[in-house]
């Protein structure tokens, strides 16, 4: 699936995908039940809707991981010591 098709599916269907995956909406068709099974990791994705949702969810998870790593780097003992040293070296007017 190309980027344009992925973006179009997510833009149009993401609220519906999330409602099914999170249980806020009960699946009414066999396709929706299968979508829920894919979202739970119980089946492999076959449709473009299933693949788009999994791709979106992985992108969100990757962004979350990056933010956590950035936070760890920013607030690690080494980073804190460097920031404190920089403050001590700064001249006051």
pLDDT at 4: 94
Residue range(s) defining the domain that contains residue 17: 3-89
pLDDT of 67 reads 76
- Residue among 68, 35, 39 nearest 54 (CA): 39
The 10 Å Cβ neighbour count of residue 30 is: 8
Full-model pTM: 0.74
Per-residue pLDDT of the chain (93 residues; tens, 9 = 90+): 899 999 999 999 999 999 999 999 999 999 999 999 999 999 999 999 999 999 999 999 888 888 777 766 666 666 666 666 655 554 555
Count of the separate structural domains present in the chain: 1
């Amino acid at each position: 699936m190309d980027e344009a098709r992925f973006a179009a599916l997510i833009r149009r269907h993401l609220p519906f995908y999330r409602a099914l995956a999170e249980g806020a909406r009960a699946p009414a068709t066999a396709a929706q039940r299968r979508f829920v099974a894919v979202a739970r990791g119980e089946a492999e994705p076959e449709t473009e809707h299933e693949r788009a949702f999994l791709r979106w969810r992985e992108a969100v998870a990757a962004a979350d991981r990056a933010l956590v790593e950035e936070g760890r780097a920013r607030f690690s003992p080494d980073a804190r010591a460097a920031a404190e040293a920089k403050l001590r070296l700064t001249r006051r007017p």
